[in-house]
């Protein structure tokens, strides 16, 4: 097999695995998704997105997508949260925590603090019985049977599922609010976007 043939075969296999796992997400859109949307629609504060590692990188994108489509949102890194940034989270906020395992060590300290302050948590996780899932008001299941990584180490299929679930949330919220270009782009956003374009 030539280098070109092998490279294309590897790429196709990666995409096929990720597409298969992404297709499985459709069957998981249930009452938990509705619960998450209702929490965010009724939120009087902001959606606070948090995650570590690849989940954190995708969390930043989800926060940006939510903010630009009508759901005030920002990202807080879990490690920084434990060093003072928990103060950024207000009583009227909703926290969306992303962790594939649902067992990130930072959760052991953060989740009880959120519970003490009655701040609801939405979990985006593959660990349906994890501490994160058990502490959450709503659990968005992004579990996969197989990562595209041949060693099963790099978050690949699970990362795609996380991103897609975030997009599904952002688009569902935007459409449920009946957003239009006029209502969506408040003056400050409209001015910023106009300058950027």
What CATH number does the domain containing 73 carry?
3.40.50.10490
Largest CA distance in the chain: 60
Asked, for residue 43, whether it belongs to a domain, the answer is yes
Tokens 């300290």 identify what position?
109
Asked, for residue 189, whether it belongs to a domain, the answer is no
Q: Give Cα 155 distance to the centre of its chain.
A: 14
Asked, for residue 54, whether it belongs to a domain, the answer is yes
Instruction: State the residue range of the domain holding 52.
Output: 3-178
- Domains contained in the chain, number: 1
Asked, for residue 186, whether it belongs to a domain, the answer is no
- Bridge partner list, 75: 49
Q: Which residues contact 193 (CB under 8 A, 6 or more apart)?
A: 185
Which residues of the chain carry a pLDDT beneath 70?
A: 1, 185-197
Asked, for residue 105, whether it belongs to a domain, the answer is yes
Query: C-alpha angle with apex 176: 74 to 47, nearest 5 degrees?
Result: 15
pTM: 0.92
Asked, for residue 138, whether it belongs to a domain, the answer is yes
Asked, for residue 197, whether it belongs to a domain, the answer is no
**In the chain, % of residues over pLDDT 90:** 88
CA distance 66 to 72: 7
Asked, for residue 125, whether it belongs to a domain, the answer is yes
3-state secondary structure (DSSP) of residue 151: coil
pLDDT, one tens digit per residue, over 146-196 is 999 999 899 999 999 999 999 999 999 999 998 888 777 665 666 665 666
């Amino acid at each position: 097999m030539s280098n070109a043939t092998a490279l294309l075969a590897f790429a196709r296999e990666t995409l096929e695995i990720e597409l298969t796992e992404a297709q499985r997400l459709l069957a998981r859109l249930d009452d938990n998704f509705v619960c998450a949307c209702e929490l965010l629609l009724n939120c009087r504060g902001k959606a606070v997105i948090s995650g570590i590692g690849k989940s954190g990188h995708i969390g930043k994108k989800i926060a940006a997508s939510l903010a630009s489509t009508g759901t005030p949102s920002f990202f807080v890194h879990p490690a920084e949260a434990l060093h003072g940034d928990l103060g950024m989270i207000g009583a009227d906020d909703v926290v969306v925590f992303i962790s594939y395992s649902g067992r990130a060590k930072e959760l052991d300290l953060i989740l009880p603090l959120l519970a003490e302050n009655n701040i609801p948590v939405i979990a985006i996780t593959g660990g349906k019985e994890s501490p994160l899932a058990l502490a959450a008001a709503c659990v968005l299941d992004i579990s996969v049977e197989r990562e595209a990584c041949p060693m099963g180490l790099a978050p690949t299929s699970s990362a795609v599922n996380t991103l897609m679930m975030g997009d599904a949330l952002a688009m569902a919220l935007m459409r449920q609010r009946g957003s239009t270009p006029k209502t969506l782009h408040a003056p400050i956003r409209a001015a910023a976007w106009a300058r950027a374009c």
